[in-house]
Amino acid sequence: MAKYINPYTDFGFKKLFGEEANKDLLIDFLNQLLPPHHQIKDLTFKNVENLPDLPTERKAIFDIHCKAVSGEHFVVEMQKAKINFFKDRALFYLTFPIRDQAKQGDWDFRLTPIYMVAILDFEYDEDEEKRKFFRNVQLKDQDCDVFYDKLNFKFIQMPLFAKEDHELESHFDKWIYFLKKLETFDDIPAILREPIFEKAFKTAEVANMTPAQRDEYEQSRLSYLEVKEAVNTAEMDGRKRREHEIAKEMKESGEPKDKIKKYTGLTEDEIDKL
């Protein structure tokens, strides 16, 4: 077993960012994403029983809901598999902290800012030319001026982060590097020898867990691997179907077999069976 936990697992993510004793880790991470006037000094974790708990999502998505002492609401998610209607779901889930702010009696509808921070272990950008590692999304008008600044989405596509330790330029870069590489480290790299990361490494060390925690983590890790394998299999099946569709069209158009093999990667036997 690796020395440090996998932060993409439910257990690993909650261990690092979802425990009261480690909320300084979450605060430090979130402050890298927030503007100066919304920097967090302290926060409290919120009960999320009023949110719909969909069994099919629980394996692929886990989240932390919290509120800063200054009033901002945060939904911090780790998503390890692509889901349908990804953007619709993100907007839907932010309606709950909006509705939670409603007050009995006379109320002027004034809301405090809400942030969704989604750490994605997949790429949702389908257009390669427009892929972005980090997206900061707000409501804007036709001139790209901010229309409403209290609803914010921060999407982080982890597979698109390719920096190595000597290329890290900011504290935010260090957090992303830490999360992406954590399970592969045998020791704390020099670039991350800072008090906040040293605490994060200590929190993430498997040797510091109780036997019960190790069992829970192992179950969480196996669940993560199952989801990743299911996604990979589905993607491979999808590519295979597309290859067959293209090959069939080329065959019906009278294209030579060698050309079909070149463009689709199918074997002669597979082409003959179409």
24-83 pLDDT, tens digit per residue, is 999 999 999 998 888 998 988 876 544 545 444 444 456 788 888 888 888 888 887 777
Could you tell me the pTM of the whole model?
A: 0.77
Strands annotated E in 69-226? 73-79, 114-120, 134-140, 146-157
List pLDDT tens digits, range 99-146. Answer: 888 888 888 898 889 999 999 988 887 677 778 999 999 999 999 999
Residue-level pLDDT at 240: 63
Residue-level pLDDT at 233: 60
- Comparison of pLDDT for 172 and 238, the residue scoring more: 172
Residue-level pLDDT at 136: 93
Measured in whole angstroms, how far is the alpha carbon of residue 252 from the centre of its chain? 43
CA distances from 25 to 54, 71, 102, 224, 260 (A): 28, 19, 30, 23, 54
Mean pLDDT for the stretch of residues 224-229: 74
- The answer on pLDDT for 10 being more than 90 is no
